[in-house]
């Protein structure tokens, strides 16, 4: 399967190097040396991945990230940054990059990250939500009764709002998988959400306060630094 990648990078040597190595893993790539070209490519074509340099001559990668994220659908973004001090901005502003590499990076590392992003996104699209009658999910000391929309932790009923329940159920149906905030907004709030990424954070905080013994050291909903959240892998009871 051939995939299409958009490389947004103003250093021609790096852009060409990345493009050549992408062709080794069956990817065609367009190169945009500035923000204006990047928007034009993005608005007129479909990509399975964007490699995005943070510092560009006419704009910066975070502004472009916002543009890409405002579009329908979900394209993973691998951010390239020149200085590790810029990581705070990339991650702290939660602009929705899925992963990042600090320059100078090694090509094997770049290719490994790109393959991991492809795998993550493709696994994500493969699984429709099954709704089985009488479905009950169990994790450690938590029981989720899907039909009754009830949850019990240590045999005590927990009162969740509809959205908190949907969020918990989505996590519980994908244990061990990492989701960033944009993916959670799309999946739990729906594609036409007008929410913001901090909406996800505040719901997760409220959910943790209700279901976790110690919300600062959660058993169920874990923070994955710089990426998002994942639900406990363990289904042991
Ligand atoms: Ca640059």
The pTM (predicted TM-score) of the whole model is: 0.57
CA–centroid distance, 160 to ligand 1, in Å, is: 46
CA–centroid distance, 227 to ligand 1, in Å, is: 23
**What's the gap between Cα 43 and its chain centre?**
21
CATH class for the region spanning 3-125: alpha beta
CA–centroid distance, 52 to ligand 1, in Å, is: 9
CA–centroid distance, 9 to ligand 1, in Å, is: 6
**Which residues 6+ apart lie within 8 Å of 101 measured at CB?**
78, 79, 80, 81, 109, 110, 113
Sign of the alpha-carbon torsion through 230, 231, 232, 235: negative
* pLDDT computed for residue 103 by the predictor: 87
* pLDDT computed for residue 6 by the predictor: 98
Asked if residue 33 lies in contact with residue 10, where contact means CB atoms within 8 angstroms, the answer is yes
* pLDDT computed for residue 65 by the predictor: 87
What tens-digit pLDDT sequence spans the chain (237 residues)?
899 999 999 999 999 999 999 999 999 999 999 999 999 999 999 999 999 998 899 998 888 988 898 887 778 899 888 766 666 555 544 566 777 888 889 999 999 989 988 887 777 666 656 556 678 888 888 999 988 889 999 999 999 998 899 999 999 988 888 898 888 888 888 755 666 777 888 899 999 999 999 999 999 999 988 888 999 875 443
What architecture is domain 136-231?
Answer: Orthogonal Bundle (1.10)
List beta partners, residue 4. 28
Asked if residue 97 lies in contact with residue 113, where contact means CB atoms within 8 angstroms, the answer is no
CA–centroid distance, 42 to ligand 1, in Å, is: 18
Sign of the alpha-carbon torsion through 187, 188, 194, 195: negative
Tokens 């409220």 correspond to what residue? 206
CA–centroid distance, 225 to ligand 1, in Å, is: 25
Question: In the chain, where does the domain assigned CATH 1.10.10.10 lie?
Answer: 136-231
**What's the gap between Cα 233 and its chain centre?**
18
**DSSP secondary structure code for residue 32 in this structure:** E
Question: In the chain, where does the domain assigned CATH 3.40.50.2300 lie?
Answer: 3-125
Tens digits of residue pLDDT in 48-93: 999 999 889 999 888 898 889 888 777 889 988 876 666 655 554 4
Alpha-carbon separation of residue 4 from 16, 26, 75 (angstroms): 15, 9, 11
How many C-beta neighbours within 10 Å does residue 83 have? 10
Q: What b/e string do you get for 108-140 counting C-beta neighbours within 10 Å, with b at 16 or more?
A: eebbebbeebbebbeebeeeeeeeeeeeebebe
């Amino acid at each position: 399967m051939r995939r299409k990648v958009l490389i947004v990078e103003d250093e021609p040597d790096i852009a060409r190097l990345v493009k050549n190595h992408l062709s080794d893993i069956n990817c065609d790539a367009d190169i945009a040396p500035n923000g204006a070209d990047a928007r034009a490519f993005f608005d007129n074509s479909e990509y399975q991945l964007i490699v995005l340099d943070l510092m560009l001559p006419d704009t910066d990668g975070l502004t472009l990230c916002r543009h890409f994220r405002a579009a329908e659908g979900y394209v993973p973004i691998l951010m390239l940054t020149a200085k590790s001090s810029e990581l705070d901005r990339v991650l702290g502003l939660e602009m929705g990059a899925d992963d990042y590499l600090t320059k100078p990076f090694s090509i094997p590392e770049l290719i490994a990250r790109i393959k991991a992003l492809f795998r993550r996104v493709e696994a994500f699209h493969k699984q429709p939500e099954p709704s089985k009658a009488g479905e009950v999910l169990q994790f450690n000391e938590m029981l989720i009764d899907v039909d009754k929309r009830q949850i019990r932790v240590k045999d005590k009923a927990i009162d969740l709002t509809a959205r908190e329940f949907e969020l918990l159920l989505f996590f519980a149906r994908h244990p061990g998988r990492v989701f960033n905030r944009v993916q959670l907004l799309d999946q739990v709030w729906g594609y036409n959400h007008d929410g913001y990424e901090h909406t996800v954070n505040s719901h997760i905080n409220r959910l943790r306060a209700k279901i976790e013994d110690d919300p600062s050291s959660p058993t169920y909903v874990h923070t994955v630094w710089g990426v998002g959240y994942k639900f406990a892998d363990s289904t042991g009871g």
